[in-house]
Each structure stands twice: as C-alpha cells, then as structure tokens.
Structure 1
Amino acid sequence: MSNQETQSQLSSSADCLNSVPSVQRITARSAEIGGTLPVNRVLPTRQRRLIGAWCFLDHAGPARFAAGEGMHVGAHPHTCLQTFTWMIEGEVLHRDSLGNEQVIRPGEVNLMTAGRGISHTEDSLPDASALHAAQLWIALPKAQGDCPPAFAHYPDLPRWTADGVEHCLLVGDYASRSSAVQVYSPLLAIDLVSAQGGPLALQLNPQFEHGILLLDGELSIGTEVFSENQLGYIGCGHEELKVHLAPGCHAILLGGEPFADEILMFWNFVGYNKAQIAQAWRDWQAGDARFGRVPGYTGQPLAAPALPWRG
C-alpha cells in the first residue's frame, strides 16, 4: 500500500520508554489509499515513530464495496524497508517488478523486501466485495538497506489456542513456536482473537518494546480500556502483560528490540539521510531501472510528491 503523506519524518528509538509502569495510548488517524479504501494509521505518529523496527502500521478496512470497486494501488516504489501484509478478509493481487504475482487470502502473509529498490501494485480481485487487513513496514537495518529486493508468501503460520484465545504467530518466536517469516531485526507479531473474552497473560521479552493494537472490540490493561484503532505501547523491561479481552476482541501484539539506526521516511521511501531519499526520489521520477517495471501493469505509475527540502 502507498503512503500519501508528503512530510518527511525522522524516526529513531531514542524515545523508547524503559520500565515505565503506565501504558501509552496511541489513537489512529484516518487516511485513504487505493481510491476509496479507508485506513487507520497508527504508526508513525507524533507520539511514537517506531516499535522496534516496525515503522509504519495501517489498519485497512474493514470495508465493503461493489465488485470492481475495491482497492487499486498503482505502481509505486519502496526502498530500505520490508512491506508486511496480514490479510484478515478479502483477496488482493500483488504484482512487483521482479515478476512476482501472488494473491493473498485471509490468514496469509505477504512480505516484500525493497532493499535498494522495488516497485509493485496491489489490486482487489475483480469479484471481491470486502477487504480487511493490516499492513506494516519494517525498517531495514542500515547494513541491509541496500540488499537485493525479494518477495515471499507465507500461507501457513503457527496457530494454537490458549486461555480461550486463538493465537497466530506472524513474526518471531513465542511459546516455543517460530514463524518462518524472514526479517532482519529481532521482532514479534501475534494475531489474537477471543470469541468469549476473558483474561490473558502475554509473556514479553524484556529487551523488546511492545504495542498491542485493537482491530475490533475492546481490551483492558489495568484500569485503561482500549477500543478499535487504539494501540497501547509498553516500553522495555517488562516480562508480562496482563490484559482482559472483551468478547469478540481481535488484536495484534507487536514487539521488537529498539531500532539502532536513525531513519528518515518520506512518501514510500525509507532512508538513512536526506541525500539517500532525494536520490531515490529522482530515480523514480526519471523512470530509472533501479525500480524496474511491473509486468502487465498498463496504468500510470504513482507520481511522487515534491520533496519537502531542496534535493
């Protein structure tokens, strides 16, 4: 999915909260992608730019639409990041400049590594009538920022039920289980669904900062109640998070080691300084081979907004 915001954003983990007993509340703001698809943007915000290497988080939908009127995101570029798509409802066709074509369906993950540069499109299938997904970006460490682009599809992920809650391990290691999703930083992501509701004790890595995002329903952390499109942030130094889930609650727990590199985000680019972002911007505007072309795509590529500084 494409980021339509035009301001550059400097991001680091310098504001990571260590051993703070309270939970920071972050409320998503409204945005729009692919024509008319409503999204709720949770990261980055003024309050918090990163959770580990997770640098961007959109909750897309849930949306209903007529056949042919779903999400359509034209060819656009990325650098120095991985796009991570978790499909909850609907079907979307991913196509990229490496020649990959992959339909992602509910319960599956698409992971695209941009590295030095890639372009892609995303389209709801012609007969699709719904879409509900979470899309995140993972900042690549500076040492891997110029790696070759790649794409992987993960249809099978570890699933289990504990304390009446359905767990799906999207990224990382948890409860003696491991996800096969390949990332370049120590990270965690778990999808949590509770039909009946009730208490749940989540084991945390004290070296990680964490966030729990409500996709549907409500949950409580102590006396704090969080509702749909709100995220509770927990700094490093905690080994357990006790929550109480309302019936029908659906949430994602994210975590990661505080990110060591300072990054700059502009449009769909991540970089480590303004010069790097400006060069990617010029290359995209010039149609440089760095970003390739998406086979079979006949539309116009998305135009990059003007740089907010002299490039």
Structure 2
Amino acid sequence: MSDLQEHPSADRCEPSPRCGPVAELFPAREVPLGGVRGVFVERVLPQRDLPTVGAWCFFDHFGSPTVTKTGAPPNIDPHPHIGLQTVTWPFTGRIRHRDSVGSDVEIHPGQLNLMTSGRGIAHSEYYAEDAPASHGLQLWIALPGNATGVDPHFEQHRELPVYRAEGIEAVVLIGSLAGHTSPARAYTPIVGADVRLEPGAAVTLPLAPGFEHAVLLVEGDVRVAGTELTPGPLLYLGTDRDELRLSSSGGAHFLLIGGEPFGEELVMWWNFVGRSHEEIVAARNDWEGRDVTRFPDIAGHSPQQRIPAPPLPALHLKPRKRRVGAERS
C-alpha cells in the first residue's frame, strides 16, 4: 500500500536515539488513499514522535477488520519510489505486482514481495477479483545512505525460515530472529517476523539487544512484556531487550519489527524517502517530467495511468523531533 494522499505532509525524521526498554503505545490512524477513491488503511508508522523503528519507516495495515469498508478494491496505478524497500505481506487475497524493472508476478498469502527502489522505480498493484478480500500489511524500509543508489530490483520469496518453540511459530520475513535468517536482501541490521501464539501460550522469544523493537497485534489477544495489547495500536518496546515475554489466552497473530536504531536523518514525502528537500524536489520533477531513465514505463500500462505527484509544500521541511523514551534515555 503506497502513500497516495493528495496532500502528504513533508517531514524531516531525525536519527533514532537509544532509549532502553520502554512500553509506548502509538495509535493507528485511518488514512484515505487519495489516489484510490474509497480505500482506507490503518497506518502506525511514521508517528509524530516515532518516525522509525530501526530502518522501518512506514507501516500500513490494509483490509483490517476495523478499517472503513467501501467495497472498492485497493488497486494502485503506476507510481514511483526512491530511497526505500517495500515489504508486502498478504494474509488473504492475491496481488499482481508489475514494475519498471520488468517484474510481473502474483503474490499469494505466505509469500513475501520485496521491492528495492534504489535511485528510482515505478510499480503498480492490482488485486484479484476472484480471490477473497485483500487483507495484509505493507511496510517500507529506509535504505541507508550508502545504498540509496543501488540498482532497483525485485524479489519474491516463497519459502521463508520459521522459528518454532512450544506455543510459538515465527516466520522470519527479513533479517534475523533467534538464529534464523531470511533470504530477503537487507541493507541494515533488521528483523521483521510474522508471529503466531497458540491459545494458552506463555513463551520467551529471544531478541537482539542492540535492536529497538515494536509489535502490531493483527488478531487475538497477547500480553507483551507485561503490556496487554489489542489489535490496532503499535507497541514500541525500545532497545536493550535480549528477550520478550509473551502470553496469550485465546491465541494471537502479530508482527514483530525491529533493527539497529537508524542513525541518519530522513526526509519522507509522498512515496519518496530522501535526505533533503532538494532530493525530493528532483525526484518529483523526474516523475512529472516522465524521465524514463529514472522511472521507466511499466509494461502493460499506458502513460496516462501514471499517478500524478501531489503539489509540493510551499516551505522547506521542518525537523520532526523524536520524543519517545526521552524521559528514560
């Protein structure tokens, strides 16, 4: 799910501080996708006081049971990205992904789509009408400065490693968890895992203590490090945890994200992740100017299907201060 708001905010995201273990809840906000009329998602990243968790900088829950339903499919026409990786993880439905590096694939539940934009890529996402209603997650990972110029590329992973212990099963989407490492290519130390707890489970999940972590409950009930969590908000757990105590009475399904605190300033606007206002302006100009060396056409789409970029804000970006855990740092 891309950021297709008609008037996206423009913010500078400051580097993540190390803050030690915390338990901070950040509410989901319902966001209409301006380029796709009648489609809504629940967004938990970025937050005003929490722009990133590790290199994770954007987190949408689409097709959530609590989001506004209008019956409109969340099809998204060609649009651009720079400076990031998109992670698409569906629970139900099927998604056809096409992009400007020649990919044309269908993704099914249990399969990971990972698209790395590098300097620039364009893609589209369409949902199969003969499949169940789409429900899943899409996240962005910010590329570090030394990787923003990599050649754009696409990966689909149909087999992913699974951590299993009594009462718990965790599919490792990207990065490493408890000695299990995903084949998906990562450019920073990171973890993303789809975790399920059995009813009555009480388990301890090993973590990398140098990472910061957060949890989003998709369904069920779970107690995470002493905090009761309900579906919807993001629970930020801070840093310096080498394990996570989890329990559930009726069973739970949640996503765990984490990584080394991201030490670079980011400027995020529309579908672009950059380092400066000028970089964002240049990317927008290249998209609007149909620079096919940076954003080639996508096979099967006409140029008229390209989603136009929103107008840029009149002023340069202002810093967004990260306040989470400040009192505990």
Query: Which runs of structure 2 are paired with 1:193-212 in the superposition (5 Å)?
Result: 193-212=196-215
Structure 1 window deviating more from structure 2 (232-241 vs 150-159): it is 232-241
1:226 Cα deviation after fit = 1.2
Mapped contact 1:197–1:249 kept (Cα < 8 A): no
Give the match for residue 46 of structure 2. 44
Q: Is the 8 A contact 1:92 1:124 kept in 2?
A: yes
- 1:279 counterpart SS class: helix
Q: Which residue of 1 aligns with 2:102?
A: 99
2:266 to 247, 263, 268: 263
TM-score (norm 1): 0.93
Structure 1 Cα separation of the partners of residues 228 and 255 of structure 2: 16
Give the superposition deviation at 1:25.
Answer: 0.7
Indicate which of 302, 306, 309 corresponds to 2:311: 306
Aligned to 1:23: 23
The 5-angstrom pairing of residues 38-77 of structure 1 reads 38-62=40-64, 69-77=72-80
Q: How far off its partner does 1:69 sit? A: 4.7
- Tell me the equivalent position of 1:226: 229
For residue 15 of structure 2, the aligned residue among 13, 16, 34 is 13
Q: TM-score with structure 2 length normalisation? A: 0.88
After superposition, the Cα gap between the structure-2 partners of 1:165 and 1:223, relative to the gap in structure 1 and judged at 3 Å, is closer
Equivalent residue for 2:117, pick from 108, 114, 119: 114
Partners of 2:230 and 2:219 in 1: CA distance: 7
**Letter of the aligned partner of 2:38 in structure 1?**
T
Q: Which residue of 1 aligns with 2:3?
A: 3
The total of aligned residue pairs comes to 308
With 246-255 and 157-166 compared, the bigger mean Cα shift is at 157-166
Farther-moved stretch of structure 1 (125-134 vs 43-52): 125-134
1:241-262 C-alpha deviation (Å, 9 max, x unpaired): 1122242311011110011211
Query: Secondary structure in 1 aligned to 2:135?
Result: strand
**1:126 CA drift (Å):** 2.9
For 2:223 and 2:163, locate their aligned partners in 1 and report how far apart those are by CA, in whole Å: 22
- Residue pair 1:17, 1:234 contacting (<8 A) in 2 also: no
| Residue identity matched to 2:206 | Q
Q: Structure 1 residues 220-229 or 135-144, which shifts more?
A: 220-229
Distance 1:31 1:197 in 2: 34
Other structure's SS at 1:302 match = coil
1:8–1:199 distance in 2 versus 1, CA, 3 Å? same
Q: 3-state DSSP class of the match of 2:246?
A: strand
Mean Cα displacement is larger for which, 148-157 or 211-220?
211-220
Kindly state the Cα deviation for residue 32 of structure 1 after the two structures are TM-superposed. 3.0
Give the SS at the match of 1:82.
strand
Unpaired stretches in structure 2, ≥5 consecutive residues: 317-329
Q: CA deviation at 1:17?
A: 4.5
**CA offsets 1:180-229 (integer angstroms, 9 cap, x no match):** 01010000011111241422212111110000111112222354321112
Q: Secondary structure at the match of 1:260?
A: coil
Cα shift at 1:270: 0.6
Q: Could you tell me how far 1:160 is from its partner in structure 2?
A: 4.3
Percent sequence identity over matched residues? 37
Secondary structure (helix, strand or coil) at the match of 2:12 reads strand
Q: Deviations over 1:67-115 (max 9, x none)?
A: x952210110000111111111110000001111010100010010101
Matching residue of 2:323: none
Contact kept, 8 Å, 1:70 with 1:129, in 2: the verdict is: no
Which residue is equivalent to 2:321? none
SS of 1:205's partner is coil
Instruction: Spell out structure 1 runs of 4+ moving beyond 4 A.
Output: none
Task: Tell me whether 132-141 or 300-309 shows the greater mean CA deviation.
Answer: 300-309
Deviates more, 1:129-138 or 1:55-64: 55-64
Evaluate the alpha carbon distance shift between residue 53 and residue 160 of structure 1 in structure 2; reply closer, same or farther with a 3 A threshold: closer
CA RMSD of aligned residues (A): 2.1
Hey, what does 2:243 align to over in structure 1?
A: 240
SS across alignment from 1:282: helix
1:177 aligns with 2:180: yes
**Greater strand proportion:** 1
1:291 aligns with 2:292: no
1:292/1:108 CA distance change after superposition, 3 Å:
same
Q: CA deviation at 1:232?
A: 1.2
CA distance in 2, matches of 1:223, 1:240: 13
1:159 corresponds to? 162
